[in-house]
Amino acid sequence: MKSTQYVARQPDESGFIHYGEAEHQVWNTLITRQLKVVDGRACQEYLDGIEQLGLPHERIPQLDEVNRVLQGATGWRVARVPALIPFQTFFELLASQQFPVATFIRTPEELDYLQEPDIFHEIFGHCPLLTNPWFAEFTHTYGKLGLKASKEERVYLARLYWLTIEFGLVDTSQGRRIYGGGILSSPKETVYSLSEEPEHLPFDPIEAMRTPYRIDILQPLYYVLPELKHLFELAHQDIMGMVHQAMQMGLHAPKFPPKAA
């Protein structure tokens, strides 16, 4: 695990998490800005989830508020975690239909990008689609598979997660749209991902598992689902068999320069 400057907020005796006014202002800036950017770019299932969640604009939401909606829609809930958690904890949570949320928000100095997933990324980026049964089923299946996987298998599963749940695109009757939370919580990547600059390829789970990525750059390649329901169908296929095929075939050459030392 990497180190982080951020510390997750702890709840009080009643379970309420207190944030400062400056933190609420960061949330307001982020959500106000990003709602404008995702309009016409996010898939309809995500926008439906945003409407269901009814996230406040003027303050950081409490986790209980989000849980009431998610549990009613798909049986999911969010779980308070520190800034960074081990793979094992991550898979344990997903396998029990809990999505990890670190209860801190980025500083104004890192408004546009930070490497650690903060509460805005997790709640605004991911929770809307957890109201969707197709997406929720895939995420649940992914957690159960990861829990049983070996260390090497988890590395391949991580690439699948990165190129779907975090950075996935989908074709719709309205055109190409975004469903990946890593894109939807980033103003720059929301616009860039749908431009002609990056490469777009039809989604293939084995190819996705063979694709290296970096977390600190705009992605050079996005995989595009034919429809969001494809994730639900994938959840009922032999994903671990695909992992083993990808392991035998090996990684593709990276489409990005190595990270500077």
Report the catalytic residues.
121, 126, 166, 185
DSSP string, 21-52: HHHHHHHHHHHHHHHHHHTTTB-HHHHHHHHH
Contact at 8 Å (CB) between 146 and 157? yes
Instruction: Give the C-alpha separation, 38 to 164, whole Å.
Output: 17
Contact at 8 Å (CB) between 244 and 221? no
Cβ atoms within 10 Å of 201's Cβ, excluding its own: 14
**DSSP, res 175:** E
Contact at 8 Å (CB) between 33 and 131? no
Contact at 8 Å (CB) between 27 and 62? no
Q: CB-based burial of residue 45 (10 Å sphere; 0-12 exposed, 13-18 middle, 19+ buried)?
A: buried
Q: Which residues pair with 170 in a beta bridge?
A: 177, 225
- For residue 104 the two structure tokens come to 């801190």
